[in-house]
Structure 1
Amino acid sequence: MTRRSSSPELLAEAARFRDLMAGWPTGVAVVTGTAAGHPVGCTVTAVASVSADPPLLLVSLAARSRTLEAIEHAGQFGICVLSAAQRRLAQTFATGEPARRFAGVPFRWVLGVPVLHGAMTVAVCAVQEALPVADHVIVMGGPLWQAEDHAAAPFIWFRRGYWDLCPAGPPPGVLDGPKSTLNRIRFTLKHNDFRGRHGHHAHHRKVPPRSRSAPRRGVGPHRTDRSEAPPWPLAQRQQPHLGNLHSGTR
């Protein structure tokens, strides 16, 4: 593969490129490591699966990152995908003083790597390769240990702000069969409870009474009546603007 050098045109578009990537919704994680027996970590959004056989994932860290230095020295790192309840940790590990990021934060040691309590998904990985690319280093690791909390609620980073999510619909097959109506009610109640616990509020709209003489609009073979509309709209709520979340810079 031929390597192209940076051109003035590309350098001039760096700011616009950041705007482009701000439109990519992504989960938020904290990558952790150990330096001289002390926990270190930073917030990242560039985490991806590389291979399932063998299992490999990658995380992108700034070349000047102190966390990267600790990871390369120890040969191991942790990935903690944050839950909605840990939104403050995302900002703490992104901008807080590196030496104090773990102050008051509950965690435990797994295979010599700090793992945050309350994360949705966690993994401890062995470094397989570290590939320098421009001003970042792509670290590939193979999981040595992992755990998931399926009850935890997710949140994402999108357009420089945090967004909460709730299910867009029930799992496949839930509304099929003779118990479909009962399953729909159960899912709707559970969904509303989810929104209530995580700060979402249903938006109600007053509908004027329809005259008996007024025809029913849109009822036919090409439209589902409003009463049959799915009761699980995607609910999102943007958090206050927090500026750029510099992924893996420290």
Structure 2
Amino acid sequence: MTATENVAAALPVATFTDAMSRLVSGLAVVTTRQATGRPCGLLVSSICSYSVHPPSVLLVVDHASRCRDPLTHCAEFGVHLLGSAQERTARTFASRGADKFADVAWAWDGTVPRLGAAPIYLRCTATAVFDHGDHTVLIGEVTHTEVAEGEPLVCYQRQFDWRLKRNGVRHP
């Protein structure tokens, strides 16, 4: 066992996940097309800008996610940064429901399923995929961006109903 494995084995998982739940993070729905041609999508909070030259994002997907395989084999995917009005959408895409797109307005943007109401949309070309621990890291180069005004929907202490305002944080 390596020194890193020894440290990781000694770190209580509950303490680590509780600590990370206190990091305010944005919520995004990531979408792609499955090999069958059907759309798939999931909610992620582990997402960040990765590079400006070229414009890129980095996101992380649990190995247990049903969207992991389609995302690791896709050429393109969409990132939908959610606004405060999309709490229901966040809960839908966080669920293990069979058809997450059934009650959500969406359309095809080429091969990428695009949600209708998200204030920020990034169409990405997958450029790197690698596994680390129990997750897969996906890096995408942004090929198209659309931005509309609105308050972001964020996650704090496992709650999706926190909203940021320009003058500070408020919760329900």
Normalised by the length of structure 2, the TM-score is 0.90
Q: Which structure 1 segments of 5+ residues have no match? A: 169-233, 239-250
In structure 2, the partner of 1:110 is 109
Task: Name which one, 1 or 2, has greater alpha-carbon Rg.
Answer: 1
**Distance between the aligned counterparts of 1:135 and 1:69, measured in 2?**
14
User: How do residues 120-131 of structure 1 correspond to structure 2 at under 5 angstroms?
Assistant: 120-131=119-130
- Which secondary structure does the structure 2 equivalent of 1:105 belong to? coil
In structure 2, the partner of 1:164 is 163
In structure 1, the partner of 2:100 is 101
Q: Note if contact 2:26-2:153 (Cα within 8 Å) is conserved in structure 1.
A: yes
Residue 58 of structure 1 pairs with residue 58 of structure 2: yes
| Bigger strand share | 2
Q: Show CA shifts across 1:144-165 (max 9, x none).
A: 2221112x22221001212122
**Which residue identity lines up with residue 236 of structure 1 in the other structure?**
R
Identical counterparts, % of pairs? 28
In structure 2, the partner of 1:224 is none
| Bigger helix share | 1
In structure 2, the partner of 1:182 is none
**Distance between the aligned counterparts of 1:144 and 1:9, measured in 2?**
37
In structure 2, the partner of 1:237 is 171
Q: Show CA shifts across 1:137-190 (max 9, x none).
A: 11001012221112x22221001212122221xxxxxxxxxxxxxxxxxxxxxx
Aligned residues: 169
Q: CA deviation at 1:7?
A: 2.2
Q: Which structure 2 segments of 5+ residues have no match? A: none
Detail structure 1 runs of 4+ shifted over 6 Å in the superposition: none
**Which residue identity lines up with residue 87 of structure 1 in the other structure?**
E
**Distance between the aligned counterparts of 1:50 and 1:165, measured in 2?**
22
**Distance between the aligned counterparts of 1:235 and 1:123, measured in 2?**
25
Give the root-mean-square deviation of aligned CA atoms: 1.7
- Which secondary structure does the structure 1 equivalent of 2:5 belong to? coil
Q: Show CA shifts across 1:221-241 (max 9, x none).
A: xxxxxxxxxxxxx35123xxx
Normalised by the length of structure 1, the TM-score is 0.63
